[in-house]
Structure 1
Amino acid sequence: MGGEKTHALLLEDLIENAGGCAVVDGGFATQLEKHGASINDPLWSALCLIKDPDLIKRVHLEYLEAGADILVTSSYQATLAGFQSRGLSIEEAESLLEKSVKIAVEARDKFWVAKKRNSGHNYNGALVAASIGSYGAYLADGSEYSGNYGVKVTLEKLKDFHRRRLQVLVEAGPDLLAFETIPNKLEAQACVELLEEENIQIPSWICFSCVDGESAPSGESFKECLDVINKSNKVSAVGINCAPPHFILSLIQRFKELTDKAIVVYPNSGEIWDGTVKKWLPSKCFDDEKFVQFALKWRDAGAKLIGGCCRTTPSTVQSISKALKARKPVSNIRQIA
């Protein structure tokens, strides 16, 4: 493809072809576990890149069948440092990062070729977003939900941590980059500066975590965080992932006031992750029917990309996809009326 503008149009075209709101896939680790994968490990879902890559492809295909327009790769917790801590060489670690993208692309292409053979199919050609989890995700101590990295973690340290992973993932050929569960302004700035320094040409989104429904986990306002992102034309969308669904509507409304970028939201089921004991705690948990009711409100409030995160499943994504495609946005209904 030629030029940054052409690349950026990939995401815009997908949203338009999806009727104004595209569907992101759902909880990846959740579905791996449903198939029997044991991922209670610092590498989390990335462990399957080593142990069972075929299962990763199977889960990608399940989300495509459910109607996902965007596949997020299994690289959220896949880091060079994390793999090396398991005794892998730097070459092996980079190969696994590349594999996370290749598996998703292969699944997408296989699915799309099959669907194109069937006339009257309702599927868009899905895009692949390479997941880049926050520094806190690598630490595996829950700090992606606190933003407390300590005084020794500087802007340069965060850029150094993410740089080579970013380079390898981009070289592997995804359509998008997805920075996920970013908990503070500092890491958002690191992501933005890296995109500029590496002259990344494919679209990116940056999603924050949120534990109070109002601000970044660090306590910084989203205005502070989005002011950094708004200065970059390398970031196509901003939003929230892995926060409870009942936080999302007000956050979309707030983000609409703060940015002109597309808004992406993919919350969890409402359960709370305890990073210390490493398990999900009972809390407000929303089933597929309630999740769909939320999703329609999010779309009507202005979200352009909607999906699910932890503890959501292909069933959730299928319900979202059917609902979004069946009902026009409120704004469109008013225009027609």
Structure 2
Amino acid sequence: MKTLKDALQENVLIGDGAMGTLLYSYGIDRCFEELNLSHPDEVHRVHEAYLKAGANVIQTNTYGANYEKLTRYGLEDSVREINTKAVQLAKKAVNKKDNYVLGTIGGIRGIKKNAVTLEEIKRSFREQLYCLLLEGVDGILLETYYDLEELSTVLTIAKKETSIPVISQVSSHEPGVLQDGTKISTALKQLELQGADVVGINCRLGPYHMISSLEEVALPKTSFLSVYPNASLPNYQDGRFYYTDEPDYFGRYAEEFRKQGARLIGGCCGTTPGHIEAMVKGLKNRQPVTEKEVKLRKEVVEVADHKPLEPHLHETVKEKKTIIVELDPPKHLNTDLFFQGAKALKEAGVDAITLADNPLASPRISNAAIGSIIQSQYNVRPLVHITCRDRNLIGLQSHLMGLHTLGINQLLAITGDPAKIGDFPGAASVYDLSSMELIQLIKQNNQGISFSGQSLREKTNFSVGGAFNPNFRHLNASVKRLEKKISSGVDYFISQPIYGDQQLVDIYEATKHLETPIFIGIMPLTSSKNAEFLHHEVPGIKIPDKVRELMARASGKNAAHAKAEGMRIAKSLLDVALELFNGVYLITPFTRYDVSIELVRYIQLKTGKERRVLYGQHFI
């Protein structure tokens, strides 16, 4: 019997189509890989249907049969059993010498790249790979990898462990480019150099866009090309996803795939035996092409020529004392007090006003709208917070494009308090991305690339901050998280409010090795009740017992004493903070901007830099 590699050398081979699509159509909607054990006849029937349709190469029902994905169903201890049975079912269906079985291993990383570490992926991959190899598959199919780093990593492992052919397929959201902006032609060349026997693309895109992608790919020198397109984009109706069933359309592209150099042609999501049969009929011959003309795509990314009129905050804070003040957008539609505060803070000489994004999961006026107004009408630099809670990935990308268009370039990327603690506890918290992944997305936009890898046709110029919560029991753990955010591309940090002099010293000692600047959060207390609420009920804030006792004694006298004590404590903290850090982040309590202005003036007097502001120009 010829090996799979020999067969690919001589002819174009036809792969099978989707497994999950057929099982779903039979009314089975669950962990499809577990069906190898509970419904083996159904799985075997799918294999036979594809072989009857004319497929030469079928794949095992093991796309998600790894530890990480099976854990979602409580099946993490059944990896060996599920994979072993899958190979047995596929091999039972294959009864001709010119048919082959591929052991399929799907990608793990999705839009949440950091959800699973690379080390966890390696362990999971090795376990599944060994199970498939022990059962004697004819090749390994690595499919639906959106992340090139992940695919490159597991390919290296596979090539060390086996000499049978390894097929490495990337997936993309946009024709010709991966989601990190890498060209598909570049990615496939890299995989070829790593030793992949077959390189190709699968999933997400239909035949039309797959052809567009292949037109830019040269014929590999030491490997072969593969292509497994989706049937179409999915439709959604009555709570179910379904694909347009047009096998003839799919079949018309089979010959074009061959002309683009594909040696292995199959189907992905939405494809059925009908699609494979149409593809078999659509191929005029099985002779592989040995020459093709490569179409080069014109570059369209341009560097934005509208640089900020003044340096980013993370640049100025390295040179001088810099003050930013948080003034939350209103929870109602009366904006008079807010804009009065913004104007007064600007006149006091603050460097930026930070605008929270629905803090404590309670809706406020859009900070993008408020930020645009204070920037255009009051000449105030806005620092806009962006949470991962309220927007899915589509909304986040759109929001970033909108902020860039408005000329807002100072951002703070945060996770966001969960919806259940806010005014609408029944609302869904999205969290498509973590804060670190949002930072990475913002930095990718700065390269002119959207999350999908598509060109934005202009580079954004965002400076992005990260949140720093030093109020955990172990400060070193918080610093480790800072280091991870720095590796994600963060430009500066803004801390939660600090209420202890010694804590400020501890933070300085723990972070002095970092070059990334930190804005130290200071929020004046207004009463004992305010202190107790913040300490006991607000996530991320802890107030020392001594400070709470001082506020309790002052509040026992009257409100004026309580306010004065809160300001005394805040100024005492500023005395220490200004000795250790260049950046100060004042958090305005209850829109009392007069309190923040008093602290701004205190800082200016302490640093000998009292400033006047006229038409946006600073005079020192």
Q: Which TM-score band (shorter chain)?
A: 0.7 to 0.9
Secondary structure of the residue that 1:166 maps to in structure 2? helix
Moved over 4 A (4+): 257-260, 328-332
**Are 1:190 and 2:190 counterparts?**
no
Q: Which one-letter code corresponds to 2:54 in the other structure?
A: G
Aligned to 1:289: 248
Counterpart selection for 1:160 from 90, 114, 123: 123
> Where does 1:16-35 land on structure 2 (aligned, <5 Å)?
20-34=11-25
Secondary structure of the residue that 2:232 maps to in structure 1? coil
Aligned to 1:271: 233
Q: Normalising by the residue count of structure 1, what TM-score does the alignment of the two structures yield?
A: 0.77
Distance 2:12 2:126 in 1: 31
Deviation of 1:270 after TM superposition, in Å, equals 1.3
Aligned to 1:312: 271
Aligned to 2:257: 298
Distance 2:222 2:211 in 1: 17
Secondary structure of the residue that 2:6 maps to in structure 1? helix
Distance 1:221 1:155 in 2: 22
Secondary structure of the residue that 1:319 maps to in structure 2? helix
Aligned to 1:121: none
Distance 2:216 2:168 in 1: 16
Counterpart selection for 1:69 from 24, 46, 56: 56
Aligned to 2:86: 100
Per-residue CA deviations over 1:38-87 (Å, capped at 9, x if unaligned) read 12x3x3x2131232011100110011100000011100011234445544
Secondary structure of the residue that 2:82 maps to in structure 1? helix
Secondary structure of the residue that 1:68 maps to in structure 2? coil
Counterpart selection for 1:50 from 37, 49, 53: 37
Aligned to 2:66: 79
Counterpart selection for 1:241 from 177, 196, 202: 202
Distance 1:258 1:176 in 2: 19
Contact 1:156 1:190 in 2 (8 A): no
Distance 1:171 1:323 in 2: 36
CA distance 1:279–1:185, change in 2 (3 Å): farther
Distance 2:42 2:70 in 1: 19
Per-residue CA deviations over 1:24-44 (Å, capped at 9, x if unaligned) read 00111112233x2412x3x3x
Secondary structure of the residue that 1:71 maps to in structure 2? strand
Distance 1:229 1:328 in 2: 25
Distance 1:270 1:85 in 2: 28
Distance 2:191 2:9 in 1: 23
CA distance 1:86–1:224, change in 2 (3 Å): same
RMSD: 2.8
Distance 1:51 1:26 in 2: 22
Deviation of 1:180 after TM superposition, in Å, equals 0.6
**Are 1:15 and 2:8 counterparts?**
yes
Q: Which one-letter code corresponds to 1:166 in the other structure?
A: L
Distance 2:116 2:235 in 1: 23
Deviation of 1:291 after TM superposition, in Å, equals 1.1
Q: Which one-letter code corresponds to 1:15 in the other structure?
A: L
Aligned to 2:101: 128
Distance 2:223 2:156 in 1: 17
Deviation of 1:153 after TM superposition, in Å, equals 4.5
Distance 2:117 2:4 in 1: 32
Secondary structure of the residue that 2:98 maps to in structure 1? coil
Distance 2:221 2:117 in 1: 26
Counterpart selection for 1:250 from 203, 212, 216: 212
Distance 2:264 2:288 in 1: 16
Contact 2:64 2:70 in 1 (8 A): no
Q: Normalising by the residue count of structure 2, what TM-score does the alignment of the two structures yield?
A: 0.43
Q: Which one-letter code corresponds to 2:22 in the other structure?
A: Q
Count of residue pairs brought into register by the alignment: 288
CA distance 1:292–1:76, change in 2 (3 Å): same
Gaps of at least 5 residues in structure 2 are 291-620
Aligned to 2:418: none
Per-residue CA deviations over 1:150-172 (Å, capped at 9, x if unaligned) read 2x644433222211111111111
Distance 1:328 1:102 in 2: 29
Contact 1:134 1:179 in 2 (8 A): yes
Aligned to 2:489: none
Aligned to 1:149: 113
Distance 2:100 2:44 in 1: 15
Contact 2:15 2:267 in 1 (8 A): yes
Contact 2:219 2:225 in 1 (8 A): no
Deviation of 1:292 after TM superposition, in Å, equals 1.4
Distance 2:262 2:93 in 1: 27
Secondary structure of the residue that 2:153 maps to in structure 1? helix
Secondary structure of the residue that 1:240 maps to in structure 2? strand
- Which structure would you say has the larger RCO, counting Cα contacts within 8 Å and 6 or more residues apart? 1
CA distance 1:10–1:303, change in 2 (3 Å): same
Q: Which one-letter code corresponds to 1:73 in the other structure?
A: T
Distance 1:249 1:48 in 2: 34
Contact 2:159 2:166 in 1 (8 A): no
Secondary structure of the residue that 2:63 maps to in structure 1? coil
Q: Which one-letter code corresponds to 1:313 in the other structure?
A: T
